[in-house]
Amino acid sequence: MENNELVSISQGALAIMNPTTPEKVLAAGRAAGLRAGSRVVEAGCGNGTILALWGREYGISGVGVEAREDACGRAEQTFRAAGIGDRVAVRCMDAREYVPDEPFDCAAAIGASHIWGGFAATLDALLGMVTDEGTIVIGDRCWRSDRTPPEFAREWPDILTEYEILGTVREAGLDVAAVIRADGNDWDRYESGIWQSVLSWLGDNPGHPERDFMIDYLHRLQDEYFGYSREHMGWAIFVLVPGFW
């Protein structure tokens, strides 16, 4: 099954396609200094929930960039429903190909580092979208410690520890203004939402040629989660600002 279709099936129904909450998303926006007039770009904006939250609460304007056409349509609906359709637009394209007409005040990638292949590459890409005084918001997976069993760590070679993320941020000339971590309940809610979406699809598509693949996919996700992810893998939103050094 094509990856974008798989993501749409497994996560398309989730309001926020990450193990976090609206309250934590708003806390990240507050730490990033978002306010009326701030221009924000979000790479991999999904169905637009995060930009909608920031638009309603802080009065931002900007652009969401999303490659999946079905998600682009939902994002447009989300922006209209939030009353920000005149301030926030969707660009339906690969974020790697997006070039802003002018730099933004803030660039975000919440659970979208896979677009560039990891935290460091994502940070570099987002820095190219903001002003010299711009802020960066990245939500990403991270290992809880540097003692993750090698057999698990090899499955996710692009994931860093939080301390490695800190070093990457400082090497880029930035400081961490805030870290907003997912807790166990956030993880359980997120993963369970994916499982329920896949189970719903299986119930609705008894004769689909990809049915066996989807069953295997569901079981593989659950094996990973119960086997090691729940214990060893974290997720957090990192709010990054220009360094004072």
Q: Which two tokens stand for residue 100?
A: 């802003």
3-183+235-242 has which CATH code? 3.40.50.150
pLDDT tops 80 at residue 183: yes
Q: Which two tokens stand for residue 204?
A: 């609705």
pLDDT digits (tens, 9 = 90+) for 58-105: 999 999 999 999 999 999 999 999 999 999 999 999 999 999 999 999
Give the model's pLDDT for residue 100.
95
Give the model's pLDDT for residue 12.
85
pLDDT digits (tens, 9 = 90+) for 115-157: 999 999 999 999 999 999 999 999 999 998 888 788 777 778 8
- Which residue's structure tokens are 């009326």? 36
Quick one: pLDDT band at residue 191, thresholds 50, 70, 90?
Answer: very high
Q: Give me the residues paired with residue 240 across strands.
A: 136, 176
> What does the DSSP 8-state code read for residue 161?
B
pTM of the model: 0.94
Q: Which two tokens stand for residue 50?
A: 């995060």
Give the model's pLDDT for residue 110.
97
